Chain A
Amino acid sequence: MINKTVSNAEEAIKDIPSGAVLMIGGFGLSGIPENCIAALLKKDINGLTCISNNAGVDDFGIGLMLKKSMVKKMISSYVGENAEFERQLLSGELEVELIPQGTLAERVRAGGAGIPAFFTPAGVGTEVAEGKEVREFDGKLYLMERWLKADFALVKAWKGDTAGNLIYKGTARNFNPMMAAAGKITIAEVEELVPAGELDPNQIHTPGIYVQRIFQGKNYEKRIEHRTIREKR
């Protein structure tokens, strides 16, 4: 098996240039590539396009990249938890393409699966439909949406092996599997990296073919946005 291991986040992201198109996995702060984002923040690059469902919060995740003005354009579905994002958006500093969450997931999936366009009912009759082809199938209207691809996809998994096979945990899976497939270079950070052969092939979510670089992450904060609990009975 090809060994795709790199030593750390800094090495994994070292050739990401200014102006690159990035996909960044995660939903809210769950399943985001914390180590890669921290390493990007130390680099002097800007003009990035980030494709990610959310934009982090003001002081964590992609929110930190926005604060450093590294991002030229965001492609997201929901940005509600981030005051800095909303400020940059309303002031026009940041270019933003807001797209329905399912359309975003499918556009990324299509990019990785070699499907240049598809039709979805989401957004018909709304401003999302402006400038897009609308076609009727069996009496219902659908919008044509195009695939999305990235120069680099940054994904986070629970476990991975040196061949790049990945297993996610809980709802931290979200956009990571599709993004892994849609990146020209996919960088996976994992909580536990094991030698090829130690993960059960029956349990692999992302086959290693999609992953070019993998490293064992460290110091995961896994910040919780809304800590909701109930009393023990």
Chain B
Amino acid sequence: MLNKNQIAQRIAKEVKKGQYINLGIGIPTLVANYIPDNLDVVLQSENGLLGIGPFPTEDQIDPDLINAGKQTITMVKGSSLFSSAESFGMIRGGHVHLTILGAMEVSENGDIANWKIPAKMVKGMGGAMDLVASAENIIVAMQHCSKDGQSKLLKKCSLPITGIRCVKKIVSDLAVLEVLPEGGFKLLERAPGISVEEIRSKTEGRLVVEGEIPEMKFD
């Protein structure tokens, strides 16, 4: 089973040179630690920054410079700052190439639920609904099952959804899966030591397995 950092490390392999990327809160934020410098990607923060840098050192902290998770950050050379309207204009306008975010559930047709558990947890959708409705490529970082063992890769989401037919790829603690345009989770890679049978038993939605499924490799 992958830990959070390994999920982030695996997702980082999906990043391509020169992309503008929005990273969600939680595991997706960790992806930044694994993107090689030579890919020249630019990280977008939906509260109004292109060019997120590393966390600041103690003497660099600036309360007027935070990411969407309200963490203190720095800016890289060549950054730009803008309003929230401009920020979502570039998201809605399709200028952000890749969105990586967390999910509570994903369905086999690519619906995602990650903002609300009725009568229990209501944090709000933040920018997630805008992002999933507009990004050309959406990768989800998630746990394959809930704490009590229920599959989170479903035929149909049981929680209120954030967006429809939008997830392209999932990296869970057990597997890398592609969401097929016609519906279904196509198994691409297994986490080290995890069998196809285990993934099958923990995936409620339609699982497509073709040929030998390789184990993930970490450098």
Contacts and interface: CB of A to CB of B under 8 A. Distances in A.
B83 A102 contact: no
Nearest to A175: B84
A125 B111 CA distance: 10
A60 interface: no
Interface residues of A, number: 58
Contact of A123 (B46, B69, B91, B129): B129
Contact of B65 (A126, A171, A176): A171
Contacts of A80: 123-124, 126
Interface string B17-38: 0000000000000000000000
A121 B124 contact: no
A232 interface: yes
Interface string A89-116: 1100000001111111110110000000
Contact of B64 (A86, A170, A177, A228): A170
A1 to B, nearest CB: 24
Interface stretch (B4-12, B140-148, B160-168, B202-210): B160-168
Interface string A128-143: 1000000000000000
B84 A222 contact: no
A178 B64 contact: no
Given A102-B92, A106-B88, A128-B129, A174 B83 contact: yes
Interface stretch (A27-35, A65-73, A195-203): A27-35
Contacts, number: 177
Contacts of B59: 232
A135 B59 CA distance: 51
B61 A102 contact: no
Contacts of A205: 83
B150 interface: no
B84 A53 contact: yes
A228 B71 contact: yes
Interface in B24-76: 45-49, 54-59, 61-67, 69-73
Given A77-B125, A126-B163, A223-B63, A30 B47 contact: yes
Given A103-B130, A126-B162, A228-B71, A174 B122 contact: no
Interface in A33-79: 53, 76-79
Given A126-B163, A127-B160, A226-B71, A174 B47 contact: yes
Interface residues of B, number: 52
Contacts of A108: 85
Contact of B134 (A29, A122, A158, A170): A122
A173 B125 contact: no
B127 interface: yes
B87 interface: yes
3 smallest CB-CB distances across A and B, nearest first, come from A102-B88, A102-B130, A80-B123
Interface of A: 27-31, 53, 76-81, 86, 89-90, 98-106, 108-109, 120-128, 158, 169-178, 205, 222-232
Given A102-B87, A124-B133, 17 more contacts: A27-B48, A27-B84, A30-B64, A79-B124, A86-B123, A99-B125, A100-B128, A101-B125, A102-B91, A102-B127, A126-B164, A128-B125, A169-B64, A171-B49, A171-B67, A177-B85, A225-B71
30 contacts: A27-B66, A27-B84, A28-B47, A28-B70, A78-B125, A90-B119, A90-B122, A98-B122, A99-B125, A101-B88, A102-B127, A103-B88, A105-B84, A120-B130, A126-B160, A170-B62, A170-B65, A171-B48, A172-B64, A174-B83, A178-B85, A224-B66, A227-B61, A228-B72, A229-B56, A229-B61, A229-B72, A230-B54, A230-B57, A232-B57
Interface of B: 45-49, 54-59, 61-67, 69-73, 81-85, 87-89, 91-92, 111, 119, 121-130, 133-134, 160-164
